[in-house]
């Protein structure tokens, strides 16, 4: 019996050392004509279906409108509604010209209820006019890297000159989701605007994102971002979900009916089930040391930034690194100076690098003593000190010799005169 128990114990022990093998799922079959799945942290594309095809973004346009308003305005700004909010098609909270609301209230109306009149009021307040705000939108899109997009209004109502791509919308959403205020708004299920100077009842706003609110399409970890629909655009959705600190951005454009939700869930499941975000390098961590001077003063080099990369599950250890350091580094060295880099490869392919910077300043005085900025480390170059001693000793001997020679010469001169 003891022998059987021992054998079973050994087998269990060996099983624990068998490496896990992950099989990659096939990419999902998406009904929608265009889609992309992007890693939030790195920007890597994990799934692509016609992601560079121009499409109508519909109300997902409001993602860009909102982040511009957040960056350029203040949440407690009081916005006075203009006449151009009248007769706006689509979703509305029925703003009245002359009505006063805060910018924050309008942002909630725009992102939760997808109110087109709220987007107009925001654009007028921030850009001075619809055209002025559209100019800001196109400038910001280019700054973010969305180079195949063009916007003419803040709400996404149909216009042949108003277009984007799944890839560009993913870039815009990735940028917006870095902002804490934006993240808070797009993950809020319910918000209430109290009565205003023109509207005597509170307005209850409810999120349209079915992945967040309790519906049959609820998705664990969903935390953004925006729905969209027009007849021309069909169903559009930009989604975000986070699990175990790993956030993914999904975009589907031109989908039909509830396919927009099932397709999004397929995309997100594919990303979370098959990929891991790895962090082989933390910002400010010491990577290596370099020797400075003959005394070999040890200067620590730290990572200027963190490094992240998404890999298929089971290949987390396939990222390799190599260090490159500048030659002939001499004091003085200023803290923060770039002195090298650490380069990363994945399965032999270069995937990025991070600069290595001096973690402290290093100085050298005329006696050859090396020390850091806080003088907690001091190293003397005795060869330099010896050289100075030998030089001064040599000069002293020379001076004594000259003095003795002059004295002897003066003495001899005195004898001849006498």
Measured CA to CA, the distance from residue 142 to residue 147 in angstroms comes to: 5
Tens digits of residue pLDDT in 113-157: 999 999 999 999 999 999 999 999 999 999 999 999 999 999 999
List, in order, residues 6 or more apart from 245 with CB less than 8 Å away: 277
Question: pLDDT band at 6, cuts 50/70/90?
Answer: low
Alpha carbon of residue 157 to chain centroid: 30
Measured CA to CA, the distance from residue 300 to residue 358 in angstroms comes to: 6
Q: Taking residues 101-119, what's their average pLDDT?
A: 98
pLDDT score at 372: 85
**Long-range contact list for 156-159, CB < 8 A, 24+ apart?**
156/56, 156/57, 156/58, 156/59, 156/60, 156/61, 156/62, 156/228, 156/230, 156/233, 157/88, 157/89, 157/90, 157/116, 157/230, 158/56, 158/230, 158/231, 158/232, 158/233
Rounded to 5 degrees, φ, ψ at 185 are: -65, -50
Q: Taking residues 293-306, what's their average pLDDT?
A: 92
Q: Which two tokens stand for residue 67?
A: 């982040």
CA distance readout (Å), 259 to 152, 235, 237, 241, 255: 28, 9, 11, 18, 6
Measured CA to CA, the distance from residue 207 to residue 191 in angstroms comes to: 9
Whether the per-residue pLDDT at 387 is higher than 60: the answer is no
Question: pLDDT band at 29, cuts 50/70/90?
Answer: very high
pLDDT score at 219: 98
Whether the per-residue pLDDT at 274 is higher than 90: the answer is yes
> Does the global pTM surpass 0.95?
no
Q: Is 21 exposed, middle or buried (0-12, 13-18, 19+ CB in 10 A)?
A: exposed
List, in order, residues 6 or more apart from 247 with CB less than 8 Å away: 39, 40, 41, 177, 223, 240, 241
Q: Which residue has the higher pLDDT, 393 or 207?
A: 207
Q: Identify whether the C-beta of residue 103 lies closer than 8 Å to the C-beta of residue 87.
A: no
Measured CA to CA, the distance from residue 336 to residue 194 in angstroms comes to: 51
Tens digits of residue pLDDT in 238-261: 999 999 999 999 999 999 999 999
Q: Taking residues 221-233, what's their average pLDDT?
A: 97
52-72 burial by CB neighbour count: b if 16+ within 10 A, else e? eebbbbbbbbbbbbbbbbbee
């Amino acid at each position: 019996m003891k022998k059987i128990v021992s054998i079973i114990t050994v087998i269990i022990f060996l099983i624990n050392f068998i490496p896990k093998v992950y099989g990659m799922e096939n990419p999902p079959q998406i009904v929608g004509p265009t889609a992309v799945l992007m890693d939030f942290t790195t920007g890597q594309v994990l799934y692509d279906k016609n992601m560079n095809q121009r499409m109508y973004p519909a109300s997902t346009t409001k993602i860009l409108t909102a982040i511009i308003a957040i960056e350029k305005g203040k949440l407690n700004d009081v916005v006075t509604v203009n006449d151009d909010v009248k007769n706006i098609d689509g979703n509305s909270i029925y703003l009245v010209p002359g009505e006063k609301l805060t910018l924050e209230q309008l942002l909630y109306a725009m992102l939760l209820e997808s109110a087109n009149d709220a987007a107009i009021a925001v654009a007028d307040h921030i850009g001075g006019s619809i055209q002025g705000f559209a100019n800001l939108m196109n400038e910001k899109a280019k700054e973010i890297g969305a180079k195949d997009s063009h916007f003419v209004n803040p709400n996404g109502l149909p216009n042949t000159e108003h277009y984007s791509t799944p890839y560009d919308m993913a870039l815009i959403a990735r940028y917006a989701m870095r902002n804490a205020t934006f993240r808070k708004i797009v993950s809020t299920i319910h918000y209430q605007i109290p009565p205003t100077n023109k509207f005597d009842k509170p307005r209850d706003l409810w999120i349209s994102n079915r992945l967040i609110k309790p519906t049959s399409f609820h998705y664990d970890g969903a935390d953004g971002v925006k729905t969209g629909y027009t007849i021309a655009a069909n169903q559009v959705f930009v989604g975000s979900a986070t699990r175990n600190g790993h956030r993914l951005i999904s975009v589907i454009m031109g989908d039909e009916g509830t396919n927009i939700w099932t397709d999004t869930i397929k995309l997100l499941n594919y990303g979370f089930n098959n990929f891991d975000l790895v962090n082989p390098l933390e910002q400010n961590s010491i990577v290596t040391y370099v020797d400075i001077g003959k005394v070999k003063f040890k200067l620590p080099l730290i990572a200027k930034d963190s490094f992240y990369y998404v890999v298929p599950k089971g290949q987390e250890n396939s990222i390799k690194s190599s260090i490159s350091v500048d030659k002939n580094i001499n004091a003085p060295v200023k803290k923060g100076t770039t002195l090298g880099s650490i380069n990363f490869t994945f399965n032999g392919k270069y995937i990025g690098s991070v600069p290595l910077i001096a973690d402290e300043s290093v100085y050298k005085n005329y006696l050859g003593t090396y020390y850091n900025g806080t003088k907690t480390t001091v190293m003397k170059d005795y060869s330099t000190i010896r050289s100075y001693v030998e030089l001064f000793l040599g000069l002293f001997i020379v001076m004594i010799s000259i003095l003795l020679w002059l004295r002897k010469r003066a003495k001899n001169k005195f004898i001849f005169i006498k």
